[in-house]
């Protein structure tokens, strides 16, 4: 597996609380992505980054923000968690736009 770690791996939180998920890579890849996976929806892109401090929205970005201050770290923040954000979150990395990304191990988030 590519050198990608995610933390935490599991989290339970309450509605209205802020949550930050961290993705860390050791591959020095330029591109980093956050996806969420839900039954019946496959994998949907939340936000992505194409360099330090360079980020853009994906198809389901409402309620999420991201930051990338270093090449190796990409943070996903839920400013005020809602039950609809209960999901499995995957970070992914890619060296270029020419291929498919490699995924991290995932974070399972439950919002009560």
Partner 1 sequence: GENVEQHPSTLSVQEGDSAVIKCTYSDSASNYFPWYKQELGKRPQLIIDIRSNVGEKKDQRIAVTLNKTAKHFSLHITETQPEDSAVYFCAAKDFGNEKLTFGTGTRLTIIP
From residue 72 to residue 111, the character string flagging contacts with partner 1 as x (rule: CB under 8 A) and all else as - is ------------------x------xxxxxxxxxx-----
Nearest Cα to Cα of residue 1 among 64, 73, 93, 99: 93
Residues in the interface with partner 1 (CB under 8 A) total 25
Question: In whole angstroms, what is the distance from residue 109 CA to residue 112 CA?
Answer: 10
**Residue (48 or 64) nearer to partner 1, CB:** 48
User: 3-class SS at 109?
Assistant: strand
Residue closer to partner 1, measured from CB, 50 or 77: 50
Q: How many CA atoms, within 13 angstroms, populate the side-chain half-sphere of residue 102?
A: 16
How far, rounded to the nearest angstrom, does the alpha carbon of residue 95 sit from its chain's CA centroid? 17
Q: Please report, as residue ranges, which positions from 33 to 52 form the binding site for partner 1 (by CB under 8 A).
A: 33, 40-45, 48, 50
Chain positions contacting partner 1, by CB under 8 A: 1, 31, 33, 40-45, 48, 50, 56, 58-59, 90, 97-106
């Amino acid at each position: 597996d590519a050198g990608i770690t995610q933390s935490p791996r599991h989290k339970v939180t309450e509605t209205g609380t802020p949550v930050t998920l961290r993705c860390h890579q050791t591959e020095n890849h330029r591109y980093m992505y956050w996806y969420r996976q839900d039954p019946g929806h496959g994998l949907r892109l939340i936000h992505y980054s194409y360099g330090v401090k360079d980020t853009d929205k994906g198809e389901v970005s409402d309620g999420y923000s991201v930051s990338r201050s270093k090449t190796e770290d990409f943070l996903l923040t839920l400013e005020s968690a809602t039950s609809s954000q209960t999901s499995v979150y995957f970070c992914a990395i890619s060296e270029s736009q020419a291929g498919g990304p490699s995924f991290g191990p995932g974070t399972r988030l439950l919002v009560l």
